[in-house]
Amino acid sequence: MNDYLALFLGVVCAGIGGELFVRGAVGLAFWARISPGIIGATVVAFATSSPELSVSINAALAGQPQIGLGDALGSNVVNVALILALALLISGIQSPRDSVKRDFPVALLIPIITGVLFLDGELSRIDGLLMLGIFIAWLVAAVIEARKQRSAAEEVLGEHRRWLVVVLCVTGLALLVAAGNLIVAGARGMAISFGIDEFIIGATIVAVGTSVPELATTVVAKLRGHDEVGLGAILGSNIFNGLLIVAVAAMIHPITVPWREVAIALVFGLVALVFAYPTRKGFIGRRRGVLLLVLYAVYLATLLQRQAA
């Protein structure tokens, strides 16, 4: 298939899939009697991170885990500095308290932990197990929070018929995964023709491609008035990418990458989260969106400059 056609079809699938998946996710929150924010940070985040997981596993099995690492770390920068920024440009976002207490601190710790583990230039299988343990601890905390909310969850807008919720979730997810795969295929084919470094390909072209599900889900959720679903999906996706996906790749094949290359993605990922951190009232204003977009432009320029050097 032509690379440009694959990109176009990917964008179409992302738009349709995002609409269906948000409807299903909000309905799932009503059905399970827990907040849409929890659903966003767990179920939606895992679903939209499935392209990154697929890329990471396939790359590690092929003996090229650098692509998977670049994809995961690059996607975390894209999620906040580009996707959240675009959502904020529409209007500010009110962050739920549980998200500020549970998800933001863990998301902020991920670049720091990854950077420390990479000081020796390699992410070993033992490092992967450690990251997996941290991920499981966060997931358990999210499940406990969900169980506390079951008795007091408020009604939310969305599809409430159980069979249709399942159909919307499955169909939307299938289209989102297809969108990610199509865009990755098209973008990778175009990038390889320019002779770009594997890690750089993963951190830029592939990262944007595999982040299309998060983009579609977040923007549609914002337009539908479900800010907590979009924000939860972004933060949860960063946690899945930075802990679960990187851990799985490292356990399959130890990852060796020059620390300087990894440092760029880690530093920009950390700074983006600091810029996006809510105020005491939990509000993230529209101006943060402009600031994050500027940061993303600087990130791309830094990576391209490093590639040219």
Kindly report, residue by residue over 185-195, the tens digit of the pLDDT. 776 676 667 66
Confidence of residue 5 (pLDDT cuts 50, 70, 90): confident
Cα 2 to the center of its chain, rounded Å: 27
Q: Which residue has the higher pLDDT, 263 or 223?
A: 263
Q: Which residue has the higher pLDDT, 270 or 303?
A: 270
Strands (E), the chain: 93-94, 122-123, 255-256, 283-284
Residue 108 CB partners (closer than 8 Å, separation 6+): 270, 273, 274, 277
Query: What pLDDT, on the 0 to 100 scale, is given for residue 135?
Result: 93
Buried-state track 110-135, b at ≥16 Cβ within 10 A, e below 16 = bbebbbebbeeeebeeebbebbbebb
Residue type present at position 104: F
Query: What pLDDT, on the 0 to 100 scale, is given for residue 76?
Result: 92
**Most confidently predicted of 88-92, 159-163, 303-307:** 88-92
Query: What pLDDT, on the 0 to 100 scale, is given for residue 36?
Result: 65
Confidence of residue 160 (pLDDT cuts 50, 70, 90): low
Residue 293 has pLDDT above 50, yes or no: yes
Query: What pLDDT, on the 0 to 100 scale, is given for residue 276?
Result: 92
* pLDDT tens, residue by residue, 92-140: 888 877 677 788 999 999 999 999 998 888 899 999 999 999 999 998 8
Query: What pLDDT, on the 0 to 100 scale, is given for residue 152?
Result: 44
Query: What pLDDT, on the 0 to 100 scale, is given for residue 211?
Result: 76
- Specify whether the CB–CB gap between 41 and 103 falls below 8 A: yes
- Specify whether the CB–CB gap between 228 and 70 falls below 8 A: no
What CATH code is carried by the domain that includes residue 171?
1.20.1420.30
Backbone φ and ψ of 110, nearest 5°: -55, -50
Residue 17 CB partners (closer than 8 Å, separation 6+): 171, 172, 173, 174, 175, 176, 178, 179, 213, 216
Confidence of residue 158 (pLDDT cuts 50, 70, 90): very low
Q: Which of 145, 175, 136 is nearest to 32 (CA)?
A: 145
Widest CA span in the chain: 58
* pLDDT tens, residue by residue, 259-291: 877 898 899 999 999 999 988 888 899 999 999
Q: Domain of residue 252: give its range.
A: 3-308
CB atoms within 10 A of CB 81: 27
> How many domains in the chain?
1
Q: How far is CA 305 from CA 68, 196, 300, 309, in A?
A: 21, 12, 8, 6
Q: Which of 151, 213, 157 is nearest to 183 (CA)?
A: 213
* pLDDT tens, residue by residue, 25-71: 767 766 766 666 677 777 777 777 777 777 777 778 877 777 778 88
Pairing of strands 283-284, 93-94: antiparallel
Residue 16 has pLDDT above 70, yes or no: yes
Query: What pLDDT, on the 0 to 100 scale, is given for residue 154?
Result: 44
Q: Which residue has the higher pLDDT, 208 or 191?
A: 208
